[in-house]
Structure 1
């Protein structure tokens, strides 16, 4: 694969500092000092109109005078020079520019106009802009401090990406005092061009980065952000801190769902779906940074506490109960070993009190025993300095123990002066230690939450099992007819017809223009019935007493119909009242009223809501949200996050509801919003559920037109499984074969496929003879982000189950116009026409993503593949970076 497109920016071989100077306190002076004092290995060229040298380096007056190819230009000169300097850099074929002008203000009108001019000029030259930023960036492994920062940055495995220069500087200052290192530090500033998603995309491919901290204030492209975030989380721990959690913009929602969703709720579930742990304060970020750099992980929420002071231990116990961290009973074997080790007066259960005189050896032995307990996922040591204790020896014992177990070992050293030296020792060893036991419990809770979020990340919903396919033709016809009539709101009959097209059970609903029609409808439906107003300017019928339930006689139907029509015409105007709708009562004696809804988030698109239903839905505000697409696991998770979940089980004389039916509705609604980008808002309220199933009693859908050439699923923050790309075909010999996109659950099939390849085929594909893929690479090959990559598997029925016999894949390039591909076929299945069919399927998938060019690299020695590429219409040329490879390119028509 070619180097990442941001490599010249973050690992440049030559840098020009325009405005580089020796003027004390200037940005140009700080940047030059940082570049030179840390002994950056690349070349540095200061550009200065007034001085012949800067810190001993000869200067040039214009960038065009530099005779070396410049990868990165850093602009530190006044903002009124920027447009001209962008032109100069563009003419010099410089592709990356970082703006660090001290007087640039991008928030006022003048600054925004200037920024628009700069970006427009940059695009003319194919140039990317980082900033404007007051800080810059750091690549510690390369000894590159391209920043306006006074201090040291230690090399480490964690990256920091921030939208605030001030927060970036504060974190680095804290990290320096705690000997915490970074692989990269990037302050995006105004992020006029290069944004969070771009930098995350680079860090995914960076082998020097193992974990990522994010500080976020706003998002420009949620789709790119989610795509890059999900890719990063598959292989690296990612933590995020976002400010601006409270949205003060007034909301005038037209459905319950819209009023109940706040943008921060959606951002929260987006991070969870991306496998990211969200932080809520700068203090949490600081403490989490220690854990990230230590690569701590936990497989559950079961914590054991060991202390030499029960009062201090109970602080941790209280916080654990508040966060629902489990403090399980230790196993009988563990308790027996503690009985043999500890004095009789010690407490041998969880929390374990080893008494105030415990020395380092007692701490170490007790911790070793508890770490081995199968009921425990992590251990917290709470140390208090007392007579007989040795804080330094105990700290050293914990440092050694941490290397012997894969369970997190968290340390709380309570005190001040007496433990300050041992705290420094723990910091130097990169142990997770905290001044208060509550902080340690919070971090353990965060570790468990992150592990849980990783399970959400793995969910890639496929089509709904063996269930009947939706009636897309009817659904689209309903929407087209409403839009053609100049309306954006489907009435109840139309809304229920749309639900019925997706096989969601609904009550039968009949229109009536007057009381006589209502009586006739009631006779046909059977008593008792519900009567509702049908008007085009009212969304919630109960606001005008437009709903009457349990009408048990025809006389009641006639009387209530006349009163309802008169009342509605008086309040709304006769021209807005179409008539009435009548439906039978649902008859669910043990039914629970639920609400399922859809709304649109400004950044993340469609959002699905679930919670308590009925007319009091907004009073109780019992609602959880999730991003589509949903599968059964995600639907169950959505339900479990509400209080109404407690009402769905058996209680008193009420039987439990059919929970599978409720989950099916959620998945059907997910399918609906994925396939129908027109849907802006929707309420199914109430959705009545009992032991026999569910039924939608009322529904309302709001739609909007979409562009005729809109890309499929472009309205989604998370791309659904592209089931429409699956097909069934046959090989030359007539043997049936399926072609389908790869799913996360294919990991074992892909591993078997790789192991069955010959050494030559493995070398041609991976440039290595490895027989098995590392787990991280296997996850990377099967946990796809369908927004920007695709893998098509060719499968056959082996008699013992499905067998993968070939895989073709591509990844879209940053230009979103081209992609890089790879293909490999099981040696036993070559020469059977598989390659051509597989590549045709890949071409179709690339066209589906609106890509125009497909390209890739082939070993120069692989004559068979090169001939195959030529047969498929690829042009073959030299590789831009490796003489042992050929670069093949095909235009997709």
Structure 2
């Protein structure tokens, strides 16, 4: 049966022991113990220190074991030399969670972890500042700063960053639902903490400070789930590495940071680049500032500040909206043609409060304008306070999202304070205001990427994965690490990627016959799998039109490569048709394995110096288009200005197929398609290189190499019911929205009520998205489909589970079409769902069933579920099945 989250006893403890509590001024133990008393902690508080009989007028215990009863949370504020003994004592006495404030070395850290695991003691730290839940009076933290209650949760690996943010928040009247200092994350880390915050009713927004990630899959799964329901702002350190003197390390750090940025985009998270942006974003969230579109109008009483804002907007790719003709006409009547009524809008240094008001009202009438940045500079003839008051009044009247920039110091201080008190974001520089707008408005674009949870492959990939695995396994058996161009292309072709036909010649004579068979002109490329660049090695000849040129080119290629790379193994020369596409462009697709996030796909121009854009697989068409949109502007620049229209759909399909390949073949370490030749007619891979690994981590998760769980093709099953009708059970996909709606519409009123336990007339768009766009790592939805009279796929049943709050069990739901309720479909779906949950290691699966739903209760009993009274609703039954046994 599901219960509270596993970390509830740590973040909502009913009892706390401060080990190392003290009366010594300036000591860690004294400060934390005092914070708990003065914060109004409402649970049972124990002081532990063998040196004292009492502390701050409260009795003190000599050890945690002397308390004589289990404690939910221990704050360990002792010297490092006694940490291991104290941790062991906590474990023996039944302490459930411990915060280690002290920093430790690696050797001591390992001993503490081993001891904690033996007793199931959960650890936060080492080097943690502690936990604050001010709404509950819990200030178990090493801080002298008063923490105000609020709706923002702060989770940080850096104690110093916690202190900085808390100090800023106190000055800016920003409160927190939780402050959680993770420290070294040897045990409790971001993943579990985020899972707790998902279900925390006090938390509406989440701030993260990340130094490193220990478990990318768990981190991404929890992050994506949290970002679905609560906006997340993230700041990460180490974007350029830690050593300026080590160029390779700096390059590697730069690449890793770009991958991290791609991961955050995919997770629906807004990533900020510095502490100021974090502060601004925090303030905006606390004010409820949530611009919904990345389009902006700027209103100012001076051209200089407005131009600075426009320049920064262009730098960040934030669009300044074009004003409609009626809006321009209205603005001309207000300010006169001589001012220029375009965006940004300069009202003049002497702009009156009424002029500001009328201009903003005119913009509010323009459907294209959603957001307005109002800039005021302290001109002698302007009234900052009066203008601020007009803006405050307007904010409640218009649909626009308003953001303010009151430049200067003393002359605008009062006006700025008024705007802040009214809950409007206000800044002192145009650049800062634009950066805030850009960061917050990106949230909605990131949310769109987040909803593309399960790109993965469809039935086509399902059919061809088996053949691709045979190819890889054959090469693995030969102890091969790098595939030849011919083998690489065969692998790409097995996933539907268009490739040029390639044949390898072992000598010049064979090259002649192959060239004649292929047909002139031909391209010749050395077959030396270990070479990173065939061109740089002198191993490529293009547009050869005669037998004589092929004969000469063969030996020239072999001699050039052996001269430059004498150790390279040259298997021969590959011959293929020369593609003459004068209006085509050459792109490059690569896959590399990031140490943290696993496979990463990048796209750029074939030129090695060209910028690249990155994305984490799995990709679907929407995600592929986003990658293309980011890469195309840079890749389309260059000397080939006469390039024609490019078939973006063909590039999109190649990217999705590459994604399917790396999802289903975990042995692929590197992959490069270069060049990928693209024109209006399509795309074709002219050359390819694939490198594979032999050793993979053991385990049942076939997607363990992925940071984001892809579409689980292996769960597709085809079978027949008793009367011979074909049924396919498979995981749901985002594109199943129409199938789901038709299925729901076909359910009887009774079936709808039994499934949803309410008289639901229709599924909202949000519900459809929730049911079809899922994270397969923490939830599963299996649907049953069958061909209709016209051969089209129709949905006839669904079984799904979602991770419960305790993190160890899952809650299921089942519904079968009325006409299919007597053919064993429900039993089949539930059996498959139970096996998925068991393979994931969950402790149990449970569900709530109406007490009068006799058919469902009989099915559950037959599947081995225990039928129990519901803990809250007498009309319901709770059915539970342990998963640790067969």
CA contact (8 A) 2:20 2:29 kept: yes
CA contact (8 A) 2:6 2:806 kept: no
CA contact (8 A) 1:136 1:186 kept: yes
Question: Please, which moves more after superposition, 431-440 or 728-737?
Answer: 728-737
Which of 134, 137, 145 is the aligned partner of 1:151? 145
Aligned to 1:267: 260
Aligned to 2:618: 629
- TM-fit CA distance, 1:756: 8.5
Kindly provide the CA deviation profile for residues 361-380 of structure 1, in whole angstroms up to 9, marking residues without a partner as x.
54344323323421112011
Aligned to 1:476: 469
Which of 492, 500, 509 is the aligned partner of 1:499? 492
CA distance in structure 2 between the partners assigned to 1:287 and 1:740 by the alignment: 45
Q: How many residue pairs align between the two structures?
A: 877
- TM-fit CA distance, 1:356: 4.2
- TM-fit CA distance, 1:760: 8.5
CA distance in structure 2 between the partners assigned to 1:281 and 1:28 by the alignment: 33
Which of 231, 234, 238 is the aligned partner of 2:232? 238
CA distance in structure 2 between the partners assigned to 1:693 and 1:752 by the alignment: 35
Q: Secondary structure at the match of 2:690?
A: strand
Aligned to 2:106: 112
Question: Please, which moves more after superposition, 795-804 or 332-341?
Answer: 795-804
Aligned to 1:639: 628
Question: Please, which moves more after superposition, 849-858 or 418-427?
Answer: 849-858
Kindly provide the CA deviation profile for residues 419-451 of structure 1, in whole angstroms up to 9, marking residues without a partner as x.
223322333333211011221122222233222
Aligned to 1:308: 301
Match runs of 1:39-50 below 5 Å: 39-50=40-51
Q: 1:493 to 1:356 in 2, by over 3 A?
A: closer
Q: 1:830 to 1:565 in 2, by over 3 A?
A: closer
Aligned to 2:136: 142
Q: Secondary structure at the match of 2:373?
A: strand
CA contact (8 A) 1:235 1:776 kept: no
Q: Secondary structure at the match of 1:240?
A: strand
- TM-fit CA distance, 1:24: 1.3
Aligned to 1:873: 864
CA distance in structure 1 between the partners assigned to 2:460 and 2:867 by the alignment: 46
Kindly provide the CA deviation profile for residues 582-618 of structure 1, in whole angstroms up to 9, marking residues without a partner as x.
22322334332221111110101111122211xxx32
Q: Secondary structure at the match of 2:320?
A: coil
CA contact (8 A) 2:799 2:833 kept: yes
Aligned to 1:6: 7
Which of 592, 595, 609 is the aligned partner of 2:602? 609
Q: 1:228 to 1:690 in 2, by over 3 A?
A: same
Cα RMSD after superposing both structures:
3.5
CA contact (8 A) 1:537 1:572 kept: no
CA distance in structure 2 between the partners assigned to 1:635 and 1:557 by the alignment: 39
CA distance in structure 1 between the partners assigned to 2:85 and 2:199 by the alignment: 34
Which of 508, 514, 517 is the aligned partner of 1:521? 514
Aligned to 2:701: 711
Aligned to 2:590: 597
Aligned to 1:508: 501
CA distance in structure 1 between the partners assigned to 2:822 and 2:191 by the alignment: 42
CA distance in structure 2 between the partners assigned to 1:57 and 1:771 by the alignment: 60
Q: 1:523 to 1:816 in 2, by over 3 A?
A: farther
CA distance in structure 2 between the partners assigned to 1:576 and 1:561 by the alignment: 16
Q: Is residue 854 of structure 1 aligned with residue 844 of structure 2? A: yes
Question: Please, which moves more after superposition, 670-679 or 458-467?
Answer: 458-467
- TM-fit CA distance, 1:535: 3.5
Match runs of 1:427-576 below 5 Å: 427-462=420-455, 471-535=464-528, 537-569=530-562, 572=565, 576=569
Question: Please, which moves more after superposition, 413-422 or 855-864?
Answer: 855-864
CA distance in structure 1 between the partners assigned to 2:768 and 2:47 by the alignment: 46
CA distance in structure 2 between the partners assigned to 1:621 and 1:5 by the alignment: 48
CA distance in structure 1 between the partners assigned to 2:39 and 2:200 by the alignment: 21
Aligned to 2:681: 692
- TM-fit CA distance, 1:866: 4.2
CA contact (8 A) 2:837 2:845 kept: no
Question: Please, which moves more after superposition, 239-248 or 593-602?
Answer: 239-248
Q: 1:540 to 1:325 in 2, by over 3 A?
A: closer
CA distance in structure 1 between the partners assigned to 2:13 and 2:449 by the alignment: 37
Q: Is residue 57 of structure 1 aligned with residue 58 of structure 2? A: yes
Question: Please, which moves more after superposition, 480-489 or 533-542?
Answer: 533-542
Question: Please, which moves more after superposition, 823-832 or 264-273?
Answer: 823-832
Kindly provide the CA deviation profile for residues 370-400 of structure 1, in whole angstroms up to 9, marking residues without a partner as x.
2342111201111234456543444344334
Q: 1:19 to 1:144 in 2, by over 3 A?
A: same
Q: Is residue 285 of structure 1 aligned with residue 278 of structure 2? A: yes
Aligned to 1:75: 76
- TM-fit CA distance, 1:704: 0.6
Kindly provide the CA deviation profile for residues 842-862 of structure 1, in whole angstroms up to 9, marking residues without a partner as x.
123325x44364321436946
Question: Please, which moves more after superposition, 261-270 or 400-409?
Answer: 400-409
Q: 1:131 to 1:747 in 2, by over 3 A?
A: farther
Question: Please, which moves more after superposition, 671-680 or 745-754?
Answer: 745-754
- TM-fit CA distance, 1:274: 0.8
Q: Is residue 399 of structure 1 aligned with residue 392 of structure 2? A: yes
Kindly provide the CA deviation profile for residues 759-817 of structure 1, in whole angstroms up to 9, marking residues without a partner as x.
98778766777777787666544431111211223457789997766542223579987
TM-score by length of 1: 0.89
Q: 1:82 to 1:652 in 2, by over 3 A?
A: closer
CA contact (8 A) 1:610 1:625 kept: yes
Aligned to 2:644: 655
CA contact (8 A) 2:241 2:253 kept: no
Q: 1:845 to 1:423 in 2, by over 3 A?
A: same
Aligned to 1:36: 37
Q: Is residue 580 of structure 1 aligned with residue 569 of structure 2? A: no
Which of 882, 885, 890 is the aligned partner of 2:882? 890
Kindly provide the CA deviation profile for residues 665-705 of structure 1, in whole angstroms up to 9, marking residues without a partner as x.
21111111011000000111122223332322221111011
Kindly provide the CA deviation profile for residues 468-523 of structure 1, in whole angstroms up to 9, marking residues without a partner as x.
76633442233223222222111122112212222222222222222222222222
Q: 1:181 to 1:837 in 2, by over 3 A?
A: same
Q: Is residue 209 of structure 1 aligned with residue 198 of structure 2? A: no
CA distance in structure 1 between the partners assigned to 2:116 and 2:8 by the alignment: 18
Q: 1:32 to 1:770 in 2, by over 3 A?
A: farther
CA distance in structure 1 between the partners assigned to 2:42 and 2:749 by the alignment: 39
CA distance in structure 2 between the partners assigned to 1:575 and 1:176 by the alignment: 64
Q: 1:92 to 1:46 in 2, by over 3 A?
A: same
CA contact (8 A) 1:818 1:851 kept: no
CA distance in structure 2 between the partners assigned to 1:660 and 1:470 by the alignment: 22
Q: 1:782 to 1:665 in 2, by over 3 A?
A: closer
Q: Is residue 351 of structure 1 aligned with residue 344 of structure 2? A: yes
CA distance in structure 2 between the partners assigned to 1:70 and 1:693 by the alignment: 66
Aligned to 1:785: 775
CA distance in structure 1 between the partners assigned to 2:169 and 2:114 by the alignment: 38
Kindly provide the CA deviation profile for residues 42-85 of structure 1, in whole angstroms up to 9, marking residues without a partner as x.
22111121222222222222223335542111111222222222
- TM-fit CA distance, 1:116: 0.6
- Which structure 2 residue ranges, 5 or more long, are not aligned? none
CA contact (8 A) 2:514 2:575 kept: yes
Kindly provide the CA deviation profile for residues 118-158 of structure 1, in whole angstroms up to 9, marking residues without a partner as x.
11111111221111134112112212111001111122111
- TM-fit CA distance, 1:172: 0.9
CA contact (8 A) 1:347 1:354 kept: no
